[in-house]
Structure 1
Amino acid sequence: MNKSGEAVSLVKEYYGIDLADVCVIHDDVDLLFGQKKEQVGAGHAGHKGVMSIMDSLGTKDFKRIRIGIGRPSADSGLPVDDFVLNDFSSEELEEIKKIGSAFFGNLV
């Protein structure tokens, strides 16, 4: 069971954050590795963390930044649920370092 929603709700309430100022950054298997997509009000697409947040906030109308992690290759035989919990490869970690500073530097 994913409890991301509990944490988001507690922080939102404790600091008195308006829903319009909530921004959730999460992984997304429907985007290619490293791609980014921003949106408000979309469904959870099966993402358990996002589902938990929607349940806790009682709405899907919050800002989300989806970061692509891609899908497991067909020949890997790895279920998506297991894939998203795997560690990144050394090549992926190097790529994350390259795109991470530019992305997070522009976030605030």
Structure 2
Amino acid sequence: MNGLFSTFKKLGGWSLLNLWRKAGVLPYAVAQVCLTGVSRKSLEIVRLGVQQKILHKLRKRYLPVLEAFDEEWKSGQYATEQESCPRVWICWMQGIENAPKLAVIS
């Protein structure tokens, strides 16, 4: 039992459970721990399963937004005239007086 608590603290403890609760995967994680056990490999499998669940939820929620943005980007909606500006901005940390002549040419 002492090993279980040290593993719990090592993996993040209450903050990890709070994150899983906020992500909505805490019931899944608890069920998986009950089914697979608390060995090192089992906990790794639970962690990977929780990550996959969270990834699935994020994709389900934000994929339409990202696809809409991608379509807007491809249509040129975000293009500006500044893209054809011939200026190159530089930052010479030693001072512009100490910059090589190539960098100072305007």
**TM tier relative to shorter chain:** under 0.3
Question: Which one has a larger percent strand, Structure 1 or Structure 2?
Answer: 1
Length-normalised TM-score, structure 1: 0.23
- Structure index of larger Rg: 2
Question: Which one has a larger percent helix, Structure 1 or Structure 2?
Answer: 2
Higher relative contact order (CA 8 A, sep 6+): 1
Length-normalised TM-score, structure 2: 0.23
